[in-house]
């Protein structure tokens, strides 16, 4: 497909990288020539210097002939205006970033009345993800598939758990509807086979039916029936959206925000929340909050470095769960060695949903990639495909197919039935399948499985 990306910041760059490596023809518009030069040094894409709200610039980028137009600048007004222009020029589908809290209640109206195909709100997506995590306090990462029927979750077996010392064949006998799809052992990630034996401190990624995962949940370290004391450092958009979802629940929530005006606004809107005006990165302030009594801390300031240090300090004080927001994905390889529990990258989460929409519009291939998730702090890829047409992979037992090294089939969804495959299972036309792999270079199904 021909795709035009307007805005080459963090979110735009995520789209550029994904779309280019999936084989689409990509054109990028940005006002800063140096930014476009840097992108061209990394990806073979076309670039146009100028404003995405300029009709002349959009025409130069051939928006009128595009399948997808993405407006991903930092300005909601610019994005919405550009998307409207692109639609009028002839773009088949338009996507726009809209993150302002004032507009969040009217996204359906904006989308339907202005003809925008898909609206993106990275901060809202993060807040929704964090609220889900609060339901599973022993889980370090969580993703849902097939309308929530299948869940992937990451956790560490508790001390004394019967999982420790168990090989994965025995695990499947104990939990027939669950499969361990990845293991992080001392910062080395494995896609394990049946002879793999679990050890203490392994961080395991388990895939299975959502209701059955609850049977395993009690085997994780830091297992609690529910959390009580929640600390949020930073009162930006993510914190606002998160409070909107949890402020009337049973949690005892404390929020620290250095900007007095912002803190007062949050205190007025969420009177159930204890709001403190102060510097959440000041260790004196943190010590006064008695971190050792917390159940979970969210580091959501606007500075990656501050969030990392906050998370490490909270971990040193014995806080059972910490969540660290990081905007720069190039920091992730370094951060994975620091032992941070959970890292959230807003633009990556937003791109997942938007890319799912884009892929669903591309039906030219026999295998349509419907979703691409990155788990275990971006070191494991989960790729979901729909098998649209006949191919030489269909009807052959999985054990007779060749899989890319450290790749496995997590599940097959066929006509309403979920299958956690064994070697004798086969693929059928119309199946939806998920692969788990360490490969970062391959997203085409036929590069990961072949005859």
Picking from 210, 263, 196, 207, the residue whose alpha carbon sits closest to that of residue 233 is 263
Residue-level pLDDT at 224: 63
pLDDT in tens, 192-245: 999 999 999 999 999 999 888 888 888 987 766 578 999 999 999 999 999 999
| pLDDT at residue 337 greater than cutoff 80 | no
Q: For the chain, give the mean pLDDT.
A: 91
What's phi and psi for 253, nearest 5 deg?
-105, 130
pLDDT in tens, 180-192: 999 999 989 999 9
Q: Average pLDDT in the 22-51 region?
A: 96
Residue-level pLDDT at 83: 97
pLDDT in tens, 361-393: 775 566 778 788 888 877 898 999 989 888 899
Residue-level pLDDT at 311: 95
CB-based burial label for 311 (10 Å; 0-12, 13-18, 19+): buried
pLDDT in tens, 290-318: 999 999 999 999 999 999 999 999 999 99
Query: Is residue 104 very low, low, confident or very high in pLDDT (cuts 50, 70, 90)?
Result: low
Residue-level pLDDT at 225: 58
pLDDT in tens, 48-57: 999 999 999 9
103 vs 386, higher pLDDT = 386
Distance of alpha carbon 192 from alpha carbon 196, whole angstroms: 6
Residue-level pLDDT at 183: 97
Q: Average pLDDT in the 104-132 region?
A: 85
């Amino acid at each position: 497909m021909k795709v035009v990306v307007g805005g080459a910041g963090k979110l735009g760059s995520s789209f550029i990288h994904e779309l280019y490596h999936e084989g689409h023809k990509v054109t990028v518009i940005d006002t800063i020539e140096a930014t476009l030069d840097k992108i061209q040094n990394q990806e073979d894409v076309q670039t146009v210097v100028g404003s995405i709200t300029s009709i002349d610039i959009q025409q130069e980028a051939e928006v009128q002939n595009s399948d997808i137009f993405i407006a991903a600048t930092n300005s909601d007004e610019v994005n919405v205006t550009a998307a409207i222009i692109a639609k009028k020029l002839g773009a088949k589908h338009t996507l726009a970033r809209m993150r302002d809290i004032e507009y969040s209640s009217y996204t359906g109206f904006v989308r339907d009345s202005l003809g925008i195909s898909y609206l993106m709100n990275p901060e809202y997506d993060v807040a929704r993800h964090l609220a889900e995590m609060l339901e599973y306090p022993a889980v370090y990462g969580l993703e849902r598939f097939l309308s929530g029927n299948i869940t992937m979750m990451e956790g560490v077996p508790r001390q004394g758990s019967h999982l420790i010392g168990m090989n994965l064949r025995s695990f499947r006998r104990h939990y027939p509807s669950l499969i361990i799809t990845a293991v992080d052992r001392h910062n080395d990630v494995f896609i394990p086979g049946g002879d793999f034996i679990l050890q203490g401190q392994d961080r395991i990624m388990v895939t299975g039916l959502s209701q059955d995962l609850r049977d395993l949940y009690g085997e994780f370290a830091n297992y609690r029936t529910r959390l009580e004391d929640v600390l949020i450092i930073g009162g930006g958009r993510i914190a606002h959206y998160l409070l909107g979802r949890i402020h009337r629940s049973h949690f005892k929530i404390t929020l620290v925000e250095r900007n007095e005006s912002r803190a007062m606004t949050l205190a007025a809107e969420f009177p159930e929340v204890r709001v403190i005006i102060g510097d959440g990165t000041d260790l004196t302030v943190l010590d006064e909050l008695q971190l050792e009594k917390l159940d979970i801390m969210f580091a959501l300031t606007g500075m990656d470095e501050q969030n990392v240090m906050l998370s490490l300090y909270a971990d040193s004080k014995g806080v059972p769960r910490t969540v660290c927001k990081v905007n720069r994905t190039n920091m992730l390889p370094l951060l994975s060695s620091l032992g941070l529990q959970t890292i959230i990258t807003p633009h990556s989460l937003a791109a997942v949903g938007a890319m799912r929409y884009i892929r669903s519009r591309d039906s030219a291939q026999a295998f349509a990639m419907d979703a691409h998730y990155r788990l275990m702090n971006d070191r494991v890829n989960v790729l979901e495909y729909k098998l649209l047409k006949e191919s030489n992979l269909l009807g052959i037992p999985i054990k007779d197919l060749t899989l890319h090294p450290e790749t496995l089939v997590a599940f097959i969804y066929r006509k309403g039935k979920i299958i956690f495959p064994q070697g004798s299972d086969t693929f059928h036309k119309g199946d939806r399948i998920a692969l788990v792999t360490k490969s970062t270079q391959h997203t085409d199904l036929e590069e990961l499985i072949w005859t």
